[in-house]
C-alpha cells in the first residue's frame, strides 16, 4: 500500500480550494413547460398570444384547415375501403389531424419526413397520391410512393427504428452542406423502444437537425400510457439527451403548427434536435381489425369529441373572418371529390407482376435468384398452359 501516503501528500497542498459556487440550473431550456402549449380553447376561442410561440400566419392556418378536412375525408374513406375488402387493414388517425397535417406543413418539400404506419393523413397532406399512400395496405407492394423524390421515408412499422434513420439522414444532409430538416413521427408506445433512445441520442450528440414529434394518443394498441412510462410526460425525456423539448395540445392546430414551426427553425438553425410531445387521441380503433371495446369505453372516446381539432380550427377561422359557410362548403366539396376519386381508383384491381419479386432484392439478382426466377417463370408458363387447356 505504498500509494496512499504519497497520494495524501500530493493531495494536501493543491486541494485546499473551496467547492466551486453552485452553477446555474443545467436543465434550463431543456425541460418542457409544465402544461401543454395551447393557443386556442377547445371551442376555438383564442387564448392570449404568447412570446415563445407566435401564432402562424392566418393563410397557413387556413391551408392547414383545408388539408385537415381533406385528410379526414381520406381517412374515413380508407376505413370504408377496408369494409369493402379493398384494403387489408387501415390504421386510422382520425382525431390526430392537427398533428398529421401540422407535422408536414411545418416543413419544406426538401425536408425529410419519417412517417409510421399511422401517418397516412400526413402523407396525403404532403401531396402524395393517396393510392400510392395505400399501396402498402392494399398489398400490391410495400412502399407505393417514390420515397427519394418525395423526401419521405417509407412508412415505418418496426417501431422507433425510424428515429435513428432520421438522425442519420439529417446529419448526412448537413454534412453535405444542405439545410434539410428531418421530422420523425413517433407514437407514445414506441418511445419505450431502445431505438428511440439511440436515435434521439445520436441526433443530440451529432447536433443533427431533427424534430422528434411524439403523437401521444394515450394508447399503444390496447396498452395505456401508464404502462409505457412513469414520467411526468414524454417531453421530459429530452433533457436526458440534452435536447430541448416541449409539449403541446395536439388537438389545437394553431398551437401544434406554432410549436412545430419553432422546433423546425431550431433544428434548421444548427442548434440540433428538438423533441415535441403532442397530447392527442385517436378516435378510431388501432386499426379496423382492432376491438377497442376491450380496453376503453365509449365515454372516454366521446369526451374527446369536444376537442375535435377541425371544429376547433374552423370555429377560430370563422371568428377571424377568414372562413365562411361558402368557403367551408368548397373545401368540403374538394374533400368529397378527393374521396370519390380515391374510391374509384381503388376499385380497380392493381396489376401485380410475380417476376418483379426478384427485381429489387439486390441491384442485380444473384445467380441463386436468377435460378429461382426461372423456376417461377416456368411455373407461371405451365399455369397459363393449363388455363389454356381448360
Partner 1 sequence: MATMTMAKALNAALADAMLDDERVVVFGEDVGQLGGVFRITDGLQARFGDKRCFDTPLAEAGIVGFAVGLAMSGLRPVVEMQFDAFAYPAFEQIASHVAKLRNRTRGALSVPIVIRVPYAGGIGGVEHHCDSSEAYYAHTPGLKVVTPATVEDAYSLLREAIEDPDPVVFMEPKKLYFSSAEAELPARTAPFGTAVVRRAGTDATLVAYGPAVPVALEAAEAAREEGWDLEVVDVRSIVPFDDATVTASVRRTGRCVVIQEAQGFAGVGAEIAARVQERCFHALHAPVLRVAGLDIPYPAPMLEHTHLPSVDRVLDTVARLQWDDQPDSRWVAA
Ligand X SMILES: Cc1ncc(C[n+]2csc(CCOP(=O)(O)OP(=O)(O)O)c2C)c(N)n1
> Should residue 201 be labelled a site residue for a copy of itself when binding is judged by CB under 8 A?
yes
Report yes or no: 49 and 257 within 8 Å, Cβ to Cβ: no
> Should residue 188 be labelled a site residue for Mg ion when binding is judged by CB under 5 A?
yes
- Check if 282 is active-site: yes
The Cβ of residue 296 has, within 10 Å, a number of other Cβ atoms equal to: 15
- Give the residue with the Cβ less far from a copy of itself, 113 or 234: 234
Residue of 75, 97, 111, 188 that binds ligand X (CB under 6 A):
188
* Shortest Cβ 182–Mg ion spacing (Å): 21
Report yes or no: 240 and 304 within 8 Å, Cβ to Cβ: no
Buried b (16+ CB within 10 A) or exposed e, 81-90: bbeeebbeeb
Of 72, 118, 279, 282, the active-site residue reads 282
Site of grid cell 440550473 = 25
Euclidean distance between CA atoms 244 and 186, whole angstroms: 17
Cα-Cα-Cα-Cα dihedral of 302, 303, 307, 311, to 10°?
40
- Check if 165 is active-site: no
Q: Residue 311: which of ligand X, a copy of itself, Mg ion, none does it interact with, CB under 5 to 8 A by kind?
A: a copy of itself
Q: Residue 362: which of partner 1, a copy of itself, Mg ion, none does it interact with, CB under 5 to 8 A by kind?
A: partner 1
Report yes or no: 73 and 338 within 8 Å, Cβ to Cβ: yes
Q: Residue 312: which of ligand X, a copy of itself, partner 1, none does it interact with, CB under 5 to 8 A by kind?
A: a copy of itself
Euclidean distance between CA atoms 88 and 82, whole angstroms: 6
> Should residue 217 be labelled a site residue for Mg ion when binding is judged by CB under 5 A?
yes
Residue range at the interface with a copy of itself (CB under 8 A); choices 128-136, 168-176, 197-205, 374-382:
197-205
Binding footprint of a copy of itself, residue count (CB under 8 A)? 75
Euclidean distance between CA atoms 10 and 32, whole angstroms: 45
The Cβ of residue 17 has, within 10 Å, a number of other Cβ atoms equal to: 6
Q: Residue 190: which of a copy of itself, Mg ion, ligand X, none does it interact with, CB under 5 to 8 A by kind?
A: ligand X
- Check if 286 is active-site: yes
Euclidean distance between CA atoms 187 and 220, whole angstroms: 8
Euclidean distance between CA atoms 157 and 118, whole angstroms: 9
Angle, nearest 10°, between helix axes 58-83 and 253-266?
110
Per-residue binding letters, 277-306, with a copy of itself (x by CB under 8 A): ----------------------------xx
- Give the residue with the Cβ less far from a copy of itself, 73 or 126: 73
> Should residue 241 be labelled a site residue for a copy of itself when binding is judged by CB under 8 A?
yes
* Shortest Cβ 133–ligand X spacing (Å): 16
Q: Residue 194: which of Mg ion, partner 1, ligand X, none does it interact with, CB under 5 to 8 A by kind?
A: partner 1
Per-residue binding letters, 46-85, with a copy of itself (x by CB under 8 A): -x---------------------x--xx------------
The Cβ of residue 220 has, within 10 Å, a number of other Cβ atoms equal to: 18
The torsion region of residue 275 among left (phi > 0), alpha (psi -120 to 50) and beta comes to beta
Residue of 44, 144, 189, 250 that binds a copy of itself (CB under 8 A):
44
* Shortest Cβ 114–Mg ion spacing (Å): 16
Sorted by sequence, the CB contacts under 8 Å of residue 215 that are 6+ apart come out as 96, 99, 118, 185, 186, 187, 188, 250, 278, 280
The footprint of ligand X on residues 254-293 (CB under 6 A) is 286
* Shortest Cβ 233–partner 1 spacing (Å): 16
- Nearest residue to 171 (alpha-carbon basis) of 259, 112, 215: 112
- Give the residue with the Cβ less far from partner 1, 193 or 334: 193
> Should residue 15 be labelled a site residue for a copy of itself when binding is judged by CB under 8 A?
yes
Of 286, 307, 312, 316, the active-site residue reads 286
Distance of CA 267 to the CA centre of its chain: 16
Q: Which residues are catalytic?
A: 282, 286, 295
Residues near ligand X, by CB under 6 A: 118, 157-159, 187-190, 217, 219-221, 286
Amino acid at each position: 500500500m505504498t500509494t496512499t501516503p504519497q497520494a495524501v501528500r500530493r493531495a494536501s497542498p493543491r486541494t485546499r480550494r473551496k467547492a466551486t459556487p453552485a452553477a446555474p440550473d443545467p436543465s434550463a431550456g431543456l425541460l418542457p413547460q409544465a402544461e401543454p402549449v395551447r393557443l386556442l380553447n377547445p371551442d376555438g376561442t383564442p387564448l392570449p398570444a404568447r412570446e415563445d410561440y407566435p401564432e402562424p400566419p392566418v393563410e397557413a392556418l387556413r391551408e392547414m384547415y383545408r388539408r385537415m378536412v381533406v385528410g379526414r375525408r381520406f381517412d374515413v374513406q380508407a376505413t370504408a375501403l377496408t369494409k369493402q375488402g379493398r384494403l387489408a387493414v387501415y390504421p386510422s388517425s382520425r382525431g390526430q389531424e392537427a398533428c398529421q397535417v401540422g407535422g408536414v406543413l411545418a416543413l419544406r418539400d426538401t425536408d425529410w419526413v419519417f412517417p409510421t404506419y399511422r401517418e397516412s393523413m400526413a402523407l396525403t397532406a404532403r401531396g402524395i397520391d393517396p393510392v400510392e399512400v395505400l399501396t402498402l395496405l392494399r398489398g400490391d407492394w410495400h412502399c407505393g410512393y417514390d420515397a427519394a423524390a418525395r423526401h419521405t421515408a417509407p412508412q415505418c412499422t418496426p417501431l422507433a427504428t425510424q428515429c435513428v434513420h432520421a438522425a442519420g439522414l439529417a446529419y448526412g444532409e448537413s454534412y453535405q452542406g444542405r439545410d434539410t430538416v428531418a421530422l420523425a413521427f413517433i407514437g407514445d408506445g414506441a418511445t419505450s423502444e431502445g431505438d428511440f433512445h439511440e436515435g434521439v441520442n445520436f441526433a443530440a450528440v451529432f447536433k443533427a437537425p431533427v424534430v422528434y414529434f411524439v403523437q401521444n394518443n394515450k394508447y399503444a394498441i390496447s396498452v395505456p400510457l401508464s404502462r409505457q412510462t412513469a414520467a411526468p410526460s414524454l417531453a421530459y425525456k429530452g433533457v436526458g439527451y440534452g435536447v430541448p423539448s416541449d409539449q403541446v395540445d395536439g388537438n389545437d392546430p394553431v398551437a401544434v403548427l406554432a410549436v412545430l414551426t419553432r422546433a423546425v427553425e431550431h433544428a434548421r438553425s444548427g442548434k440540433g434536435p428538438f423533441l415535441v410531445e403532442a397530447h392527442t387521441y385517436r378516435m378510431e380503433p388501432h386499426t379496423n381489425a382492432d376491438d377497442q371495446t376491450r380496453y376503453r369505453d365509449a365515454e372516454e372516446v366521446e369526451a374527446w369529441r369536444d376537442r375535435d381539432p377541425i371544429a376547433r380550427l374552423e370555429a377560430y377561422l370563422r371568428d377571424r373572418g377568414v372562413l365562411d359557410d361558402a368557403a367551408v362548403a368548397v373545401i368540403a366539396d374538394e374533400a368529397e371529390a378527393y374521396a370519390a376519386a380515391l374510391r374509384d381508383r381503388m376499385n380497380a384491381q392493381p396489376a401485380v407482376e410475380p417476376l418483379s419479386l426478384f427485381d429489387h432484392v439486390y441491384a442485380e439478382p444473384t445467380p441463386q435468384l436468377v435460378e429461382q426466377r426461372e423456376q417461377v417463370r416456368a411455373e407461371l408458363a405451365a399455369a397459363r398452359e393449363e388455363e389454356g387447356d381448360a
